[in-house]
Amino acid sequence: MREQHVGVVWNPSKKITREELEAALPDSANLRISWYETSEDDPGRGATQQALDGGADVVLAVGGDGTVRAVAEHLAAVESSAELGIIPLGTGNLLARNLDIPIDDVPAAFARALEGEAEPIDIGWVELTVDGESRRHAFAVMAGLGIDAHMISETKDELKDRAGWLAYVESLGRAIPASEVIGMTLTAGGSDPVEEQAHTLLVGNCGTLVGGVNLMPDADPSDGELDVLVLSADGLGGWLDTLRNMAWDNGLKRLLRPDATADSSTSTTHSRVTNLKVELVEPRLVEIDGDELGETAEMVINIQPGAIRVR
């Protein structure tokens, strides 16, 4: 068997030492391992390039969603043939959850990353302007504005350290009233613009969040499309409709018809796109894969099919 050159892009802020990580590695005589630390100023893109410059065949993202996103973004941007492995050490671990990568079991995650077969997944790209600066970022799971962005903004880091993903539940009560219904125009591909009145917009490459909540049941990270969910609930009746749509129409009822596509309702709209232009009547906070980007009034989202290969 050919020796694997493994570049480990490691977030040292996580509560695990390099010695503990090394002890969790599977025994193998065919591994050459190099370590690259991320920093607060560079969550992984520079370290990923160092790993590639060093000849890594496999790049392991060891950290939370921010580290995984940064590594995946760089691999997609340079169209590298190096494969991605994920060692989830964060709060949400969203991509790992959607790909059934072991969580809270570092040795099992290492085994999957070093011994598993790689499969291609798509990557989404967001172009937007924040504080007068044009920016372009990738996401592996989802991009959004509204409740999810406010929930991330309101979540306290110290509570995440103590309570894990349950910290997001604590912030939800503040995120809902902060997410007011506004006007937005959505233009998908060559279609005519669609006017919406909504408080939340999610564009997903994957659909499952923490706690097993599946917001976009049709989302498949390797199908060459992005799933769009627009939420417009306003008042008790609207929220009850949203809950019914998620829990019944696109939850329990799908167990009886697993081949069905996602159902929309009065307060929820599901669709699928390869590119989407979003125009808002006023700026709103945007997040991608759990990272807050700031406020914008316009963004363009595209998909890069089969952008990276993940173990």
d(CA 181, CA 195): 13
Hey, CA dihedral for 95, 92, 152, 246, is it positive or negative?
positive
Beta strands in 140-225 (DSSP E): 142-145, 182-188, 194-198, 200-204
* pLDDT value of residue 179: 53
Residue 281, in any domain of the structure = yes
Tell me the average pLDDT across 71-83. 98
Residue 311 lies in a domain: no
Residue 139 carries which side chain, given as an amino acid letter?
Answer: F
Q: Give the model confidence (pLDDT) of 190-226 as tens digits.
A: 899 999 998 889 999 998 877 667 778 889 999 999 9
Domain boundary among 116, 131, 151: 116
> Which domain-ending residue is among 84, 100, 116?
116
Do 49 and 87 lie in a common domain?
yes
- Residues 132 and 93 placed together within one structural domain of the fold: no
Tokens, residue 221: 């990270």
- Do 170 and 96 lie in one domain? The reply is no
Residue 251 has what pLDDT? 57
Domain membership flag for residue 44:
yes
Do 148 and 278 lie in a common domain?
A: yes
Predicted confidence at residue 183, as pLDDT, reads 94
Give the count of domains, the chain.
2
Shared-domain flag, residues 146 and 97: no
Q: What is the pLDDT of residue 160?
A: 41
CA 48/CA 30 separation, integer angstroms:
21
The DSSP secondary structure of 105-142, one letter per residue, reads -HHHHHHHHHHSPPEEEEEEEEEEEETTEEEEEEESSE
Residue finishing a domain among 52, 82, 116:
116
Q: Taking a C-beta distance cutoff of 8 angstroms, is the pair 273, 216 a contact?
A: no
Residue 143 lies in a domain: yes
Least confident stretch, 6-10, 58-62, 154-158, 274-278:
154-158
Domain residues for the domain of 30 are 4-116
pLDDT interval class at 98 (50, 70, 90): very high
Q: Is the pLDDT confidence value at 28 over 50?
A: yes
